[in-house]
Amino acid sequence: MSYEDWMVRILFVLVLPFIGIFLGLLYKGFDRKITAMMQARIGPPIRQPFRDVKKLFMKENIVPDHAVPWIFNAAPFFALLAPLVALVYLPLGPFEPVMEGYGDLILLLYLLAIPAVAMAVGGLASGSPYATVGAQRELVLMMSYEFPLAIAAVTIAWKYESFSLATISSTPIWGQVGAMGAFGLFLIVIGLFAVLPGELSKVPFDQAEAETELGGGLFVEYSGRNLGVFYLSEAVKMVVVGTLLIALLFPHNLSQWYSFGGPEFAGYVVLNVVADVLFFLLKLLIIIFVGVSVVRVAVARFQIDKASYFYWVPMTLLGLLGTVLVVLEGAI
C-alpha cells in the first residue's frame, strides 16, 4: 500500500467518528419526530438530540460517594469507543470499509456487545440498587439477542464462504439463492429486525432503563458529561447496527442500475457517489423506521423474562429454520 493510500485511510479514520456522531444524532431526531407523529403528537424538533448533548456536556458531572469512580467514569467512554471503532469496518454507501480482513464480521459482533457490557459495568459500579437491577437486565437481554444475531451472521457468511464484510457486501445475497434460500433469508431478516430494538435498548426491550420502574435503571446515577457520552454511544450504535444490516442484506447502490455520468474525482463519478450516499441514507432511515420507530409505537415494554424468551425461543427457532433452508438449497 502506497504512502498516499495510508494517508487517505488515516484521514477517513479521523473523520468517521464525527460522521457517525452526526448521523446518529440526526437519525435519533428523525426517530423521535416520526414516533411523535405516529402518536398524534407534535414532538421535538429534529435537532433536539444535538441540543440534549450540548446541555448534558454543560452540566456538572456528579460521581456518587458509594461508586467506584474510575470504573464509573470509564464505562461511558468504552461504550462510545466500541461503535466508533466498528465504523471503520463497515461500508458506508459507495465507500469500501477503511479497514477490512477475513474475520471482520466476527469482530463487529464483539464490538456491538461491548456497549451493553460497559453500561452494565457502569451501572454496577454506581452502587445504586436500581442500577444493579438494570445491569442484570441488560446482561440477560444481551445474552438473549446475541444468539439470533450470530445465527444470521454465520448463515450469510457460510453462503459467501467468508467472514469478510467487504466480500459479503460486494454482491447482494439475494442473487446468490433460489426460492427456498430466499424464503430462508426472509426469515433471517425478520429475526434481524427483531434484534434491532434489543441491540438499541428501545421499547419493547428497554427493561434495563425502564424509567417507570427503575427511574432510569443503568443511568440513574449518571449525569453531565458521562450521561452525554452514553447518549452519543446509543446514537452511534444505531447507525452501526443499521449499516451492518444494510451491508449484510441490502448493499445495493443506485449506480449499479443507473449511471448519472458527470465529472470524476479520485476515480469516483461525483454524481454517482452523491446518489449512492443519498440512497444509503434513505435505506438507513427506512431500517430505523421499521425496526425501531414502528415497533416502539406498536408494542409496550415486555417483562424481562418474556423478552429473553422471545429471543431465545421464537427468534432463535426462526433463525435456525432460515439457516436450514439456505443450507438445504445449497446441498440440493
pLDDT, mean of residues 306-322: 95
With 70 as the cut, is the pLDDT of residue 241 above it? Answer: yes
With 80 as the cut, is the pLDDT of residue 331 above it? Answer: no
Return the minimum-mean-pLDDT range out of 85-94, 183-192, 206-215. Answer: 206-215
Q: Which helix (H) or strand (E) holds 87?
A: helix 69-87
Q: What are 258-292's pLDDT values in tens digits? A: 776 666 655 567 788 888 999 999 999 999 999 99
Residue 315 carries which side chain, given as an amino acid letter? M
pLDDT attached to residue 207: 87
Q: Is 41 left (phi over 0), alpha (psi -120 to 50) or beta?
A: beta
Percent of the chain with pLDDT over 90: 70
What's the CA angle centered on 278, arms 238 and 49, to 5 degrees?
40
307-312: list long-range contacts, CB under 8 Å, 24+ apart: 307/141, 307/144, 307/198, 307/204, 307/205, 307/207, 308/140, 308/141, 308/143, 308/144, 310/144, 310/194, 311/141, 311/144, 311/145, 311/147, 311/148, 311/194, 311/195, 311/198, 312/144, 312/147
SS3 220: coil
pLDDT, mean of residues 306-329: 94
Q: What are 122-171's pLDDT values in tens digits? A: 999 999 999 999 999 999 999 999 999 999 999 999 999 889 898 898 88
Burial 103-135 (b: 16+ CB within 10 A, else e): ebbbbbbebbbbbbbbbbbbbbbbebebbbbbb
Q: What is the DSSP letter of 310?
A: H
With 60 as the cut, is the pLDDT of residue 62 above it? Answer: yes
Binned at pLDDT 50, 70 and 90, residue 329 comes out as confident
Torsion of CA 103, 141, 53, 226, to 10 degrees: -90
First to last CA, the chain: 42
With 80 as the cut, is the pLDDT of residue 3 above it? Answer: no
Q: What are 24-40's pLDDT values in tens digits? A: 999 999 999 999 999 99
Percent of the chain with pLDDT over 70: 95
